[in-house]
Amino acid sequence: MNKNLTDNELLEYLENEESREFEGWDFSYLESTGRTREFPLRWNYWNVVKEKMDGVTSLLDMGTGGGEFFSSLVPLPAYTCATEGYKPNLTVAKKRLVKKYFEKLKEINYLIQREGYIDFTCHRFLIVAAKE
């Protein structure tokens, strides 16, 4: 993006961005513009999660988006669940995850976790208050 935009050019640019179709957590269009990139980093989130999943029997993905990342983690533990609070993403997640990985996916905005019930929780983009 040219850093010397006029006010009108900036407004037009922002309006175009706002009107873009957005679904799940697929940000590849941002990478193609050079505005963001995930690599090269010294670490890789997928590798970290896969390593931590080794031997777990239960997994929770909080804020799964459209399930794009979560579905890449197969095979999943026997007890696996995901949460998503953004309704448009919930539809995408259901299409991607239900019947293939889950029996059902319900809309939930919070989860009460019993101590020891979930072996591993991942949340790539979700902001969680520590006291929750």
Q: Over range 25-50, report the average pLDDT.
A: 73
pLDDT of residue 102 exceeding 60, the answer is yes
Assign residue 73 a region (left: φ > 0; alpha: ψ between -120 and 50; beta: otherwise). Answer: alpha
> Which tokens sit at 46?
């997928």
Phi, psi of 26 (to 5 degrees): -90, 100
Instruction: Please report which confidence band the pLDDT of residue 50 belongs to, taking 50, 70 and 90 as the band edges.
Output: very high
Instruction: Please report which confidence band the pLDDT of residue 60 belongs to, taking 50, 70 and 90 as the band edges.
Output: confident
What domains sit in the chain, N to C, each tagged with a CATH number?
A: 45-122 (3.40.50.150)
Task: Select, from the ranges 5-14, 34-43, 101-110, the one with the highest average predicted confidence (pLDDT).
Answer: 5-14
Percent of the chain whose predicted confidence (pLDDT) is above 70:
67
